[in-house]
């Protein structure tokens, strides 16, 4: 039986309407699913932000407590020496000089600690304030070696800078210097006397240089390796104070490497001693 034109048109319109309703319903369900996924994603992002804020709060609280602990010893020492010098009882001239020298040493330690803490805070919160220019990494390594030449001689430490020339990056001179200065100081104070220190570039690609800094000393217990870049780490209690360190040197190294677009890790050498592997980006990523 054939349909009349009017009935046919109505049937087509009804069919199209039904298809439109079905399509619209599916589209709404799809939209609802997308909105639900977006809501879940936003909630996850919110929780991550909250967790990150809490982690930062805990880290800052921990650092504040550590700083207070580190300040306590030198401040107490200075106070004790000055109380003796300013007391009613006379002090022999030789003892006066000794107490003054100790006060000076503790004051220098306080100054170094304040400078290191300030540097880390600036790196974490205002890294963009550090100027960048083309710098020579071998020259900066030589500068650090030259500045520590006397103390290396005292400990009979041989330093070999095998970095090739030219080897330049766009970075910050002071922060690059901190990398080699602090790594070298770490080797001088903790690797032992009569060791060899080496600096070399073991690989390069279009984006980065890959460097190795090693010493032939005693190394550290493997349990401490994952924590070696932590602030105020004490592998041997009192050792850092004996050598005058602030406990922030390797943390500054890590932050300075990150500033230059690289990463760093450390391991014990099979032959003995520590070796640090780190990369430096050749050009500024900005």
Nearest to 93 by CA among 85, 103, 105, 81: 85
State which of 47-61, 100-114, 204-218, 271-285 shows the largest mean pLDDT: 204-218
272 torsion bin: left (phi>0), alpha (psi -120 to 50), beta (else) = left
Which residues form the domain of 265? 133-281
Q: How confident is the model at residue 77 (pLDDT cuts 50, 70, 90)?
A: confident
CATH for 29? 1.10.287.130
CA atoms within 13 A on the CB side of 199: 24
- The 8-class DSSP code of residue 195 comes to -
User: Are 139 and 271 part of one and the same domain?
Assistant: yes
Range in 27-31, 184-188, 260-264 with the lowest mean pLDDT: 27-31
According to the model, what pLDDT value does residue 59 have? Answer: 64
According to the model, what pLDDT value does residue 7 have? Answer: 63
The reply to whether 262 falls in a domain is yes
According to the model, what pLDDT value does residue 73 have? Answer: 73
Relative to beta strand 196-204, strand 158-161 is parallel
Report the alpha-carbon distance of residue 77 to residue 106 in Å, rounded: 7
pLDDT in tens, 215-267: 988 888 887 788 788 776 655 543 444 455 667 788 889 999 999 999 999 98
User: Which residues are paired to 215 by β-bridges?
Assistant: 197
CATH for 210? 3.30.565.10
User: Which residues are paired to 199 by β-bridges?
Assistant: 161, 213
User: Are 43 and 84 part of one and the same domain?
Assistant: yes
Q: Sheet containing 196-204: give its strands across.
A: 158-161, 196-204, 208-215, 274-281, 264-268
* Longest pairwise C-alpha distance within the chain: 130
pLDDT, mean over the chain: 81
- Residues of the chain above pLDDT 90, percent: 19
Hey, what long-range contacts does 43-46 have (CB within 8 A, 24 or more apart)?
A: none
pLDDT in tens, 90-132: 878 888 888 888 888 888 878 877 877 778 777 777 777 788 8
According to the model, what pLDDT value does residue 3 have? Answer: 54
Number of domains in the chain: 2
- Residues 149, 155, 158: CA angle, nearest 5 degrees: 60
According to the model, what pLDDT value does residue 224 have? Answer: 78
Taking residues 24-37, report their average pLDDT.
Answer: 76
According to the model, what pLDDT value does residue 211 have? Answer: 95
Report the alpha-carbon distance of residue 271 to residue 85 in Å, rounded: 51
Q: How many CB atoms sit inside 10 A of residue 277's CB? A: 17
C-alpha dihedral (15, 19, 22, 26), degrees to nearest 10: 180
Q: How many CB atoms sit inside 10 A of residue 261's CB? A: 18
According to the model, what pLDDT value does residue 69 have? Answer: 63
User: Are 137 and 260 part of one and the same domain?
Assistant: yes
**Of 125, 151, 170, which one is at a domain's C-terminal end?**
125
User: Are 110 and 158 part of one and the same domain?
Assistant: no
3-state secondary structure of 209: strand
User: Are 101 and 179 part of one and the same domain?
Assistant: no
According to the model, what pLDDT value does residue 8 have? Answer: 64
**Distance from the Cα of residue 32 to its chain's centroid:** 44
Taking residues 150-163, report their average pLDDT.
Answer: 90
3-state secondary structure of 283: coil
User: Are 166 and 110 part of one and the same domain?
Assistant: no
Tokens found for residue 175: 């922060």
């Amino acid at each position: 039986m054939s349909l009349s034109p009017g009935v046919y048109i109505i049937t087509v319109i009804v069919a199209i309407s039904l298809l439109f309703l079905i399509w619209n319903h599916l589209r709404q369900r799809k939209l609802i699913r997308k909105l639900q996924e977006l809501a879940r994603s936003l909630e996850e992002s919110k929780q991550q932000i909250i967790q990150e804020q809490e982690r930062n709060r805990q880290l800052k609280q921990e650092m504040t407590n550590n700083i207070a602990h580190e300040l306590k010893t030198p401040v107490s020492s200075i106070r004790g020496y000055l109380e003796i010098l300013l007391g009613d009882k006379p002090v022999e001239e030789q003892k006066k000089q000794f107490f003054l020298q100790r006060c000076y040493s503790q004051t220098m330690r306080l100054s170094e600690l304040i400078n290191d803490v300030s540097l880390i805070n600036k790196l974490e919160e205002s890294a963009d304030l550090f100027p960048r220019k083309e710098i020579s990494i071998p020259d900066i390594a030589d500068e650090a070696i030259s500045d520590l030449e006397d103390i290396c001689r005292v400990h009979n430490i041989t330093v070999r800078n095998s970095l090739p020339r030219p080897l330049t990056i766009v970075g910050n001179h002071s922060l690059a210097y901190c990398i080699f200065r602090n790594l070298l100081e770490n080797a001088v104070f903790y690797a032992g006397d009569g060791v060899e220190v080496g600096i070399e570039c073991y690989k390069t690609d279009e984006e980065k240089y890959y460097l190795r800094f090693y010493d032939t000393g005693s190394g550290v217990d493997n349990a401490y390796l994952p924590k070696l870049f932590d602030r105020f780490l004490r592998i041997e209690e009192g050792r850092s104070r004996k050598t005058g360190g602030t406990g922030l040197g390797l943390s500054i190294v890590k932050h300075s490497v990150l500033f230059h677009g690289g990463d760093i890790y450390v391991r014990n050498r099979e032959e003995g001693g520590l070796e640090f592997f780190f990369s430096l980006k050749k050009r500024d990523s900005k």
